[in-house]
Amino acid sequence: MHKLALIPLALALAACGSQQQPAAPVATAPKPAPAPVDQPAQPTPPQSAADLLGAKLDTVLAGDWRSAANKARDAYRHPKETLAFFGIKPGDTLIEITPGGGWYAEILAPLMKGNGSYIAAVSKPKKPEGEAAQDKSALQKKFEGDAARYGEARTVEFDGKAPSFGAPGSADVVVTFRNVHNWAMNDTAPLMFKAFFDVLKPGGTLGVTDHRAAAGAEFEKIKDSGYLPQDMVVKLATDAGFKLVASSEINANPKDTKDYEKGVWTLPPTLELGDKDKDKYLAIGESDRMTLKFVKPGADNVFKPKD
């Protein structure tokens, strides 16, 4: 090959060698994540009925101050579910009307201790040896004998013919268990419901359980049996100014035929017939009961039932 022909080739090769290769990309540090924006502290949600009726109620129901016989009745009276249904909450002033021997007082007074106020409303005794006097004495002994559990419990007496349970609008909750039939029998029920209404705050709750009569039963025909038509109880409450906001089958008992020789007292715990057919009545258990929640109107937070 001619020497002159090699010159352009050499120049071309030199030119190629002189071109710079593209620089490798320079690694850069990742951008720091933006600093988290401080979120405003969320308010602690208010204590609910479930908070009060959770672990503490379980502890109360298992308490050694409750007799084995009383604990056995939990299966029929469903205190945990019933109190949750009524919506008792911390800070409430609660009045139990006519606690009798104190089955519910043994639960409610320790439960409300440090969480609100428990008041037992007892009928003013007509005579020293009467039932009301015995109930009052037994309750006082219970409260005075165990300050650790009942030290904050109070009692108030009322006259069944002119009942009053405290200053108007002073209570958050009024409850009564298996008592309305007694007031209906002696014609004082309307006065009692009016007094419940008066003592409750607007938006306050009235919780009622009682022995439920068979559907369609007429009160005048069954009044001595201890059973009550549910619609009669609802009317007593609504006539006094309450609104029915919910009913529950928590304390229902479909085994209860409601047609016994001694009325509801044939069943346990009374067992009025003694040993006669005792096993039969024990197998039935305690009575079929209505469980009703009423509210006194007048507050924005009145519970509204779901459609």
pLDDT given at position 9: 39
Q: Determine the structural domain holding residue 107 and report its residue range.
A: 48-295
Contact between 52 and 88 (Cβ < 8 Å): yes
Contact between 142 and 150 (Cβ < 8 Å): yes
Query: For residue 59, is it within any domain?
Result: yes
Give 161-202 pLDDT, tens digit per residue: 999 999 999 999 999 999 999 999 999 999 999 999 999 999
Confidence band of 220 (pLDDT split at 50, 70, 90):
very high
CATH number of the domain residue 183 falls in? 3.40.50.150
The average pLDDT across 141-159 equals 93
- 11-15, 43-47, 61-65, 271-275: the lowest-pLDDT one: 11-15
Give 100-109 pLDDT, tens digit per residue: 989 999 999 9
Structure tokens at 46: 């208010």
pLDDT given at position 138: 82
- 104-118, 126-140, 196-210: the lowest-pLDDT one: 126-140
Confidence band of 2 (pLDDT split at 50, 70, 90):
very low
Query: For residue 70, is it within any domain?
Result: yes
pLDDT given at position 301: 47
Distance CA 148, CA 82 (A): 25
Query: For residue 244, is it within any domain?
Result: yes
Q: Provide the domain count of the chain.
A: 1
Give 245-282 pLDDT, tens digit per residue: 999 999 999 999 999 999 999 999 999 999 999 999 99
Distance CA 278, CA 284 (A): 10
Query: For residue 110, is it within any domain?
Result: yes
Confidence band of 40 (pLDDT split at 50, 70, 90):
low
Query: For residue 305, is it within any domain?
Result: no
Structure tokens at 171: 């209570």
pLDDT given at position 210: 98
Contact between 184 and 228 (Cβ < 8 Å): yes
Distance CA 283, CA 272 (A): 15
Burial degree of 66 (CB within 10 A; 0-12, 13-18, 19+): middle
- Which of these, 110, 254, 123, lies nearest to 176 by C-alpha position? 123
pLDDT given at position 12: 41
Q: What is the DSSP string of 241-268?
A: T-EEEEEE-TT--TT-----TTGGGGST
